Structure 1
Amino acid sequence: MKWTGLNQLREEFLAFFEEKGHTRLPSAPLVPQGDNSLLLINSGMAPLKKYFLGQETPPNVRVTTCQKCIRTPDIEQVGKTARHGTYFEMLGNFSFGDYFKKEAISWAWEFITQRLEIPVDKLWVTIYLDDDEAYDIWTKEIGVAPERVVRLGKEDNFWEIGAGPCGPCSEIYFDRGEKYGCGSPDCGPGCECDRFMEFWNLVFSQFVNDGEGNYTEMEHKNIDTGMGLERLACLMQGVDNLFEVDTVQNIMKHISKIAGVHYGEDPRTDVSLRVVTDHIRSTVFMVSDGVVPQNEGRGYVLRRLLRRAARHGRLLGIDRAFLYQVCDTVIDENIGAYPELGEKREYIKKVIQNEELRFEKTIDQGMDLLGTMLDHISAEQIKAGKAVLSGDEAFKLYDTFGFPIDLVREIVAEREIGLDEATFNELMEQQRQRARAAREQMDTIAWSEDVTAELDLPRTAFVGYEKLDAVARLACIIAGGQLADSVTAGEQATLIFDTTPFYAESGGQVGDRGAITGEGVAALVEGCTKSPTGQYLHTVTVQCGTLHTGDALRLSVDKDYRAAVARNHTSAHLLQAALREVLGEHVHQAGQLVTKDRVRFDFSHFSSMSGLELAQVEELVNRKIMEALPTDVREMPIEEAKQLGAMALFGEKYGDTVRVCSVGDFSREFCGGTHVKNTGCIGLFKILSESSVAAGVRRIEAVTGFGVIRQLDRDQEAIQQAARALKLQNPADLVEKAESVMGELKRCGKQIEELGSQLAAIQMDSLFEQATEVGNVRLVSASFTGTDAKSLRSMGERVRDKAPRMVAVLSTVVDGKGTICVSCGKEAVEAGVHAGNLVKEIAKLAGGSGGGRADNAMAGVKEIFKIDEAIAQVPSIIARMIAH
């Protein structure tokens, strides 16, 4: 067999099965689409589950894919061994009720022996114990020697997950040779040693398990095969593990170059090289598929991988953000198969760089504190196996610095110290309970949803797209969390009708408001939500009369309220389209809230928007408003909507039929909300603010229509008040007056600074007389209150320049924050005193951190009451420096 690159292997596999009548499908995103059972796609068949279960019709009964996958259960082992990884690609060919065992087996054998030319004498096959059909195909039709077909039990060669489709498997193994074996005479496929490597699993899905151990033969049988691309590349390239495969090795070489180390020279650096190599592959693909660093869900998986990689970068001696640089190599190695990586290159790099920089702050503070905690554990305790980091300390690291528990776990394990995770978990649960208690307010709707779950009511018919007024029958009354037959004036309740024009809160759009009227009765509708079983829940306060179950009542939506919400909702669609045009195609909605008063729109983007970008977006939205573009809202099959290019909310589950809102040719989105008939109805659009919500997620708040007028009125009033405060008759002179005042303040500030420097000089001259001798250098120390950091630095520099043998240690406290400055004269530095190292040690004693050059350095401290105590240790620290 000949050496073949990973990218070529991928293409050869897919092309081979296309020749066999299979439709090549692109890899699905790592974020499952319409499947809440998975956090991330972890197998080749996961995105195709809907076809196997008959939920959707596949584009062809024969399909082939190369699927991106993430698996993290063994994340702690990644790096420690050369076999574990979190990212991989899975090759597969699938049949949905078409071909079965004979074709699956013969094509697999044809591909590996003829197309790849893998020697037959290196191959072994396993089958399920009593699968005689597969045995006969392998031995009688394919011609594999019977002694090379091994029967294994249910644990090894039968695929099933609970109830549902299942069936026997047949696995193909490669014999790597005796040198990889365990030496046992029973060694063969299925052995735990490294000799026989399974690389292709053929699953014959032919039964349905009822969950109680009863298996029924399926009428339409399926084929599901999976072959790890990296594992196949290992075989074809004659290497021992995935980190030596060509594309992966090129990524590792880039990391090695940055770190100045080489793979294979030191087992410790090899671990870190493997961790960084694996994790940067995973994170690049995750970010490309829309995942952003967060503290929960798949965002936490991403954050954990990035932070673990960053920490191992430090273990390699890399003391700066570097992962974003390695992204280029990951992208370049994979861009042929995944062109979207190139399109999103700058976005991917920026998200990863931002997380690296954020983690630098966390890890610096956390590592210092953790180091101090671990230093208090004696060598005797470690030797005796009794060394344990307390759960209280681990929780303090997490709660105060956001230091991840998984990193704490790894670090203490490296030093052979235990971790009291039980206490940590208990403290975490207490924190969660406090948060839940703060959130839990048992309102009427919460009770209503509990009650409706037990009711046998039909779904409410919604007619609010067509009309704002309807007569409906009152099907159910819920008051005080209980079912009721009636509700009277002054009481609050939740009402369910058979029909309603009221839009229920959904997709970020608030529910409608309005009125319910009948003969002698009236109620205000203050909101509308929808239960999981499809009933619309109208929150009302009865104004007069008594409402009874079964009453026929008129439901009227507040037209002005609906119109204001619709203006803001349509503007959100225009906003997203404008953001994508100005910032790039990586922008996707990450959440929104559309109310009567404003629109709040969250979107994926890596940095704050500039004033120019905001102005461009705002102008583009207003241009589309002025063009009075028509809005076309209609239902259509989901595949048709996708072909039209309609944008879906990332990760949202949709049915076979979807509602699509098109705004001219400018915007087209899946949407169930309410909208204006044309954009001219919006009037005007004004951005109020742009801010950060989470890493890689930004938020814009804006107003439309009358909201813009109200905002202009507020701005005008603020200008008038500012003019009056500055004693101006004409508000038009406000800018000139403000610049004049700021100029005067700047001049006063400069004078204060000059006076401060002069005062500092006077103070330092008097301090020279108090200097003490420490070895062959002189030490002066002093504490001040209210002196700013800049003045403190000036004092230190004066000492340094005036007295070559002097070391000055100065501190100040301003607004409860402490600062320490250390300056060293030239001769003091030559004697061995380093200002950066000295200030770092002093600051650590007072719960702070800092550093700097040999002659001048600064540090910040939090525990200001410990500053004097810390400075008292300076003579002994200097003596130690001089001694070395």
Structure 2
Amino acid sequence: SENFWQAGPLGPCGPCSELYIDRGLDFGAPDDLPGGDNERFLEYWNLVFMQFDQNPVNTLTPLPAKNIDTGLGLNRMAAILQDKHSVFETDQFAPLIALGEELSGRRYGHAFPTDRAMRVLADHGRAMTFLIADGVVPSNEDRGYVLRRIMRRAIQQGRSLELEPGFLTRYAEVVTELMGSEYPELYEQRESVRTWLEGEEQAFGRTLEQGLKRLDELIARARGSGEEGIAAEDAFLLHDTYGFPIDLTRELLSEHDLGVDEVGFEELMDEQRERARRGSGRFGGTEELRERLEAFAGDAGFATDFVGYETTDRETMVGAVARDDGRVLVKLVESPFYATGGGQIADSGYVECSDGDCRARVDDVLRVGDDQVVVVVPEQGTLEAGERVHAHVDRAARHATECNHTATHLLHAALRRILGPHVHQAGSYVGPDKLRFDFTHSSRLTPAQLDEIENTVNGWILESQPVRAITTTLPEARALGAMALFGEKYGDIVRMVEVGDGSFSRELCGGTHVRFTSEVGLFKILGETSSAANVRRIEAVTGPAGVELLRRHDRALSDAADTLRAPAERVPDLVTELRSQVRELERAARRGGDGTDGVDLERLASMTVERSGARVLVADVDVPDGQALLDLADRLKNKIGDAVIVLASAGEDRVNLIASVSPSLVDRGLRAGEIVKVAAAAVGGGGGGRDTLARAGGRDVAKLPEAIGAATDAIEAALSG
């Protein structure tokens, strides 16, 4: 009666046959039985006879097509065939256990805490190596968070063995040597794996010690008051401030026979997610809205036929109409409007009755699975179900969006060519105004790299390469090397967009594109920033928007040249000279003061921004020396309160830097010494100090903007870590 298997509360299920091997009396007692709580009988296989469907009313319906689902534990089978007591003694795990012995100087098999830590590192080391090689990167969402939890548990276990920093990459190297011959992607992505492991170990390492210290305090308090565990609020603090996944907190508490209020913790997490949801999406992006849209689309009784790849105008019929919180929802029988998806925003346009009695502006087009719902704003008359209408897409906006979407594919290809195959798409926005592309990469791009990326994309545009959308099978697309979003669900038949002969750009994509790359006209990068930990963001414009941007820049340069009465190419040098002269005059005017009298403290304080719940001020100021910079930091600290403040000042031949971090932010992993050290490296210098206050300097005055950027990136990385 107990041998019945089901994947969840609903779905296919059936009786099963569990296969055990009797490992003998060395592992248990004579009266031990298969399926009992013992080590003697090892289950290594399960045969599930799938013949029922479990439905919501808790009844079993026979499946029309029955099958046998066979689940074999490969590692357990290896242990049996190799006559090993544990999977960790098999040929795939033993080298990883040996690595743990080498790195820790301890012997496996002599103490349970040591054995457990080495097993965790062996198992998690293999898992994280494969996940990153397959395109997953650590993040705070979905599969990326699963990877991050695995990595952070491994980091904590490594610290418990007192391993030297950098141990995660050693495990990845052994995994690659063990399994790379059968899984060549491990060798292909070796550098990417190393980069992500190093970055995560460094980032979490900064907060781990502080988090463990805080946890020790909570444990002592719980024991002192006779409590059975810690409160949900404390677990949430460990998660939100120190980056402790709840399962890591649970495991560490269990070592002290303490628990945690996980129900309350999940409620706090749900509240946080709900706050995030309320701040996202055009209509809030709520689950309730999605359910209403699905109900409306389902009640209509038909799926809209999207014809937007072939045309931007279509005479069609209104199949259904509903009014929802002031919005008018429309289901068209055929629709030329692209629904938001794949990073591309929805088409705009209008719908008007064939007899001219009604007209409505298209405000949004929402995707409902493979179907769509058009959101309209009535301008004249009333749209009714059964009405014949003309559906018109805004062609100018559509074409601008197509230019940006094709340019996004070209940008992705250029990034992988220049930065390496570790680059994967992590998010995007494609609209008529611009494109935004988030991608996996751990460091700030240099100006030279951005120039090379821009030149590569514009080179492909000038070649007027054909852009083709091909319908094919998923296996065929993958065999051709088409890029796919990791974890995205694709059907058996997919749409693949390739540029040129496909040698540099093939992607699975449902968006709209130009026919030739020359239609894009021009690609111009607006900027490159950090989007999240280990994720960079590039924003760019194309076509007329790019031309207008260059025209504005040219006009500004021309106006500056006229003002300076000099050729345009001399403007940068003259501006540098004039700035130097102004600084000297200001210094002369301030002599006798503390060096900060000329600084507008109110304006400077107003430049403070919020980053992940922390106040951050990073600024280039004009003060005469390092002491004046320190005085200014103190004045700002008194005015702003708890914050991280980084100030930089450049003289004739020296850059001065100072960082001030409030104690509460030190607890979140921010270190003043580390921040100024990174910034000073950009200007060819060095320095350091305490966690709350540090000073540094350098000689390369021209690199001051890079120092400011490096400090900003270091702060964002610490806060997102």
TM range (shorter): 0.7 to 0.9
Which residue in the other structure is 1:860 paired with?
Answer: 691
Matched residue count = 623
Query: Does residue 313 in structure 1 map to residue 158 in structure 2?
Result: yes
What is the distance in 2 between the residues matched to 1:397 and 1:789? 40
Q: What does 1:723-734 align with in structure 2 at a 5 Å threshold?
A: 730-734=567-571
Q: 2:464, 2:516 within 8 Å by CA — same for their partners in 1?
A: yes
Q: 1:521, 1:547 within 8 Å by CA — same for their partners in 2?
A: no
CA positional deviation for 1:461:
2.4
SS, match of residue 815 in structure 1:
helix
Which residue in the other structure is 1:675 paired with?
Answer: 513
Cα gap change, 1:332 to 1:434, in 2 (>3 Å): same
Q: What does 1:531-550 align with in structure 2 at a 5 Å threshold?
A: 531-532=367-368, 536-550=372-386
Aligned counterpart in structure 1 of residue 20 of structure 2, from 167, 173, 177 = 173
Query: Does residue 658 in structure 1 map to residue 505 in structure 2?
Result: no
Q: What does 1:585-734 align with in structure 2 at a 5 Å threshold?
A: 585-666=421-502, 667-719=505-557, 730-734=567-571
Cα gap change, 1:452 to 1:414, in 2 (>3 Å): same
Q: 2:308, 2:337 within 8 Å by CA — same for their partners in 1?
A: yes
Q: 2:351, 2:362 within 8 Å by CA — same for their partners in 1?
A: no
Cα gap change, 1:247 to 1:730, in 2 (>3 Å): same
CA positional deviation for 1:704:
0.9
Which residue in the other structure is 2:699 paired with?
Answer: none
What is the distance in 2 between the residues matched to 1:159 and 1:537? 36
Q: 1:461, 1:499 within 8 Å by CA — same for their partners in 2?
A: yes
Query: Does residue 740 in structure 1 map to residue 577 in structure 2?
Result: yes
Unaligned runs of 5+ in 2: 595-622, 644-661, 674-686, 694-721
Q: What does 1:507-518 align with in structure 2 at a 5 Å threshold?
A: 507-517=342-352, 518=354
What is the distance in 2 between the residues matched to 1:732 and 1:444? 50
Between 1:407-416 and 1:589-598, the stretch displaced more is: 407-416
SS, match of residue 436 in structure 2:
strand
Which residue in the other structure is 2:617 paired with?
Answer: none
Unaligned runs of 5+ in 1: 1-153, 483-491, 758-786, 795-810, 820-841, 863-884
One-letter code of the match for 1:274?
R
What is the distance in 2 between the residues matched to 1:259 and 1:373? 29
Per-residue Cα deviation, 1:278-336 (whole angstroms, up to 9, x for no partner): 21111111112222212232222211111111111111113524212321011111112
What is the distance in 2 between the residues matched to 1:327 and 1:576? 27
What is the distance in 1 between the residues matched to 2:256 and 2:586? 52
Which residue in the other structure is 1:55 paired with?
Answer: none
Cα gap change, 1:370 to 1:460, in 2 (>3 Å): same
Q: 2:82, 2:90 within 8 Å by CA — same for their partners in 1?
A: yes
Between 1:154-163 and 1:561-570, the stretch displaced more is: 154-163
Q: 1:515, 1:556 within 8 Å by CA — same for their partners in 2?
A: yes
Aligned counterpart in structure 1 of residue 183 of structure 2, from 338, 342, 359 = 338
Per-residue Cα deviation, 1:29-70 (whole angstroms, up to 9, x for no partner): xxxxxxxxxxxxxxxxxxxxxxxxxxxxxxxxxxxxxxxxxx
Q: 1:524, 1:543 within 8 Å by CA — same for their partners in 2?
A: yes
One-letter code of the match for 2:252?
I
Query: Does residue 389 in structure 1 map to residue 230 in structure 2?
Result: yes
Which residue in the other structure is 1:406 paired with?
Answer: 247
CA positional deviation for 1:679:
1.0
CA positional deviation for 1:511:
1.9
Q: What does 1:439-478 align with in structure 2 at a 5 Å threshold?
A: 439=280, 446=289, 449=293, 452-453=296-297, 455-478=299-322
SS, match of residue 702 in structure 1:
strand
SS, match of residue 310 in structure 1:
helix
Q: 1:848, 1:859 within 8 Å by CA — same for their partners in 2?
A: no
Which residue in the other structure is 1:876 paired with?
Answer: none
What is the distance in 1 between the residues matched to 2:114 and 2:629? 40
Aligned counterpart in structure 2 of residue 367 of structure 1, from 204, 209, 212 = 212
Per-residue Cα deviation, 1:835-872 (whole angstroms, up to 9, x for no partner): xxxxxxx98999799899xxx9943349xxxxxxxxxx
SS, match of residue 155 in structure 1:
coil
Q: 2:322, 2:328 within 8 Å by CA — same for their partners in 1?
A: yes
CA positional deviation for 1:628:
0.8
CA positional deviation for 1:626:
0.9
Q: What does 1:156-555 align with in structure 2 at a 5 Å threshold?
A: 156=3, 166=13, 168-184=15-31, 187-205=32-50, 207-209=51-53, 222-318=67-163, 320-376=165-221, 381=225, 385-386=226-227, 388-421=229-262, 423-439=264-280, 446=289, 449=293, 452-453=296-297, 455-481=299-325, 493-517=328-352, 518-521=354-357, 523=359, 525-532=361-368, 536-555=372-391
What is the distance in 1 between the residues matched to 2:691 and 2:574? 38
CA positional deviation for 1:583:
2.6
CA positional deviation for 1:227:
2.8
CA positional deviation for 1:347:
0.4
Which residue in the other structure is 2:711 paired with?
Answer: none
What is the distance in 2 between the residues matched to 1:426 and 1:646? 41
One-letter code of the match for 2:341?
S
What is the distance in 1 between the residues matched to 2:8 and 2:285? 40
CA positional deviation for 1:595:
0.5
CA positional deviation for 1:559:
1.9
Cα gap change, 1:420 to 1:173, in 2 (>3 Å): closer
What is the distance in 1 between the residues matched to 2:690 and 2:451? 40
What is the distance in 2 between the residues matched to 1:291 and 1:213? 39
Between 1:461-470 and 1:445-454, the stretch displaced more is: 445-454
Per-residue Cα deviation, 1:612-641 (whole angstroms, up to 9, x for no partner): 332222222111111111122233344443
One-letter code of the match for 2:88?
F
What is the distance in 2 between the residues matched to 1:682 and 1:440? 28
One-letter code of the match for 1:281?
R
Cα gap change, 1:637 to 1:198, in 2 (>3 Å): closer
RMSD of aligned Cα (Å): 4.3
What is the distance in 1 between the residues matched to 2:442 and 2:33? 51
Q: 1:590, 1:602 within 8 Å by CA — same for their partners in 2?
A: yes
Cα gap change, 1:477 to 1:161, in 2 (>3 Å): closer
CA positional deviation for 1:341:
0.6
Q: 2:400, 2:433 within 8 Å by CA — same for their partners in 1?
A: yes
Which residue in the other structure is 2:683 paired with?
Answer: none
Per-residue Cα deviation, 1:711-740 (whole angstroms, up to 9, x for no partner): 11332355467668x956554322212433
One-letter code of the match for 2:419?
L
Between 1:670-679 and 1:156-165, the stretch displaced more is: 156-165
What is the distance in 1 between the residues matched to 2:348 and 2:281? 24
Kindly name which structure, 1 or 2, has the bigger radius of gyration based on alpha carbons: 1
Q: What does 1:827-866 align with in structure 2 at a 5 Å threshold?
A: 858-861=689-692
One-letter code of the match for 1:404?
P
One-letter code of the match for 2:637?
D
What is the distance in 2 between the residues matched to 1:288 and 1:658? 24
Q: 1:163, 1:208 within 8 Å by CA — same for their partners in 2?
A: no
